Amino acid sequence: MSFQNPVFIPGPTNMPEEIRKACDMATIDHRSPVFATILNPCLDNVRKVLKSERAQVFIYPSTGTGGWETALTNTLSPGDTVLAARNGMFSHRWIDMCQRHGLDVQIVETPWGEGLPADRYEEILAADTNHKIKVVLATHNETATGVKSDIAAVRRALDAAGHPALLFVDGVSSIGSMDFRFDEWGVDVAVTGSQKGFMLPAGLAILGFSEKAMAATAQAKLPRTFFDVRDMEKGYAANGFPYTPPVGLMNGLKLASDMLLDEGLENVFARHHRIAEGVRRAASAWGLELCAASPDLYSDTVSAIRTPEGFNATDIVTHAASQYGVAFGVGLGEVAGKVFRIGHLGSLTDVMMLSGLATAEMCMADLGLDITLGSGVAAAQEFYRSNPARAALKAA
């Protein structure tokens, strides 16, 4: 793999040089007032990225998986019931975590490639007259299948059923890249990580808690120590952590969130949509379909592209790495070997994406697929020329 080439995986994403330098800093006393100049802007900026006025933000030395565990252990007790749809690898993993914690998960099995079944959620919630269900899990962007789900529809389902369950949203591959509306959608816990839309290395779990979720922490009986938000809340009140914070990563997060806000969130979302649409035009020109079942489900951060029956899609990924030094994503779970994934999020431009599309074409041609070199690149070029960038990513 060549460090000179950008990566086209759905995370970790390409890191702007400014952010890399911000993470590479001298040691400071994290119990001194200096740390507050890093911590407080991070908390304020993340709240803005979530489009929230009220969310209580927590940042842990961890990953999105640790963020899932933070959400569960701080709000639930053994035996509590959780409602979740399994429509991809990451919704599956969150369900698995719930079960390992002794929670009763009511699973709505959903075809991989489909979005969350909000109508089915509403039926189940309306029938739960005793309000046994305590939490509804929702994966906003299923990274394994390139499927975006309608979180507003899930909130409407809860409201239509008159159900008090908390709404937890996995926004690991959406927050910072796709529109996310914490307050408007009535989200109670949002989970993301540093290594995707925030353009940082892996190492931070980033969460937003609503007032309702914070209130639930007083009754929760699942064990938690490292991920206890009450301890973190006390630490923040003194401008610190309850333990040693990841200062360099947080200094990077301060800059990364500044960059997103300076670009303008709507411009960030438009850039991701534009780049993603170029990838989708390329896939169509190749005669290939996306795993996502319909255009309303298309993700703007990752496209899972189906290859012809009998062809092992993983070969494209391994060939790209060995022959051209370029990274794409393999298929996971039920779609392993059936799709390859192109990540198009974080620090990325139209021109960078064109290089990835050209590489994918070469790999497919090398492996004997009926691909005309230049066809997908030309389709993306035509789209990018007709839809020029309004605001270039400042770090690019």
User: What is the tens place of the pLDDT at every residue in 157-185?
Assistant: 999 999 999 999 999 999 999 999 999 99
What was the pLDDT predicted at 9? 97
Low-confidence ranges of the chain (pLDDT < 70): 1, 390-396
**CA nearest 45: which of 231, 194, 202, 170?**
194
**CA nearest 375: which of 396, 361, 394, 390?**
361
Neighbours of 40 (CB within 10 A): 13
Neighbours of 31 (CB within 10 A): 13
CA distance 293 to 379: 21
What was the pLDDT predicted at 1? 64
Question: What string of DSSP letters covers 44-59?
Answer: HHHHHHTT-SSPEEEE
Own/partner pairs for 116-120, CB < 8 Å, 24+ apart?
Answer: 116/85, 116/87, 116/149, 116/150, 116/153, 116/154, 117/85, 118/150, 118/153, 118/154, 118/156, 118/157, 119/157, 120/85
CA distance 226 to 232: 9
**CA nearest 192: which of 59, 73, 96, 92?**
59
Q: Tell me the three state secondary structure of residue 162.
A: coil
CB 361 within 8 A of CB 377: yes
Ordered structural domains, the chain, with CATH: 17-262 (3.40.640.10), 264-386 (3.90.1150.10)
Q: Which residues contact 168 (CB under 8 A, 6 or more apart)?
A: 71, 72, 135, 136, 137, 138, 187, 188, 189, 190, 191
> What is the model's pTM?
0.95
What was the pLDDT predicted at 389? 78
CA distance 312 to 220: 46
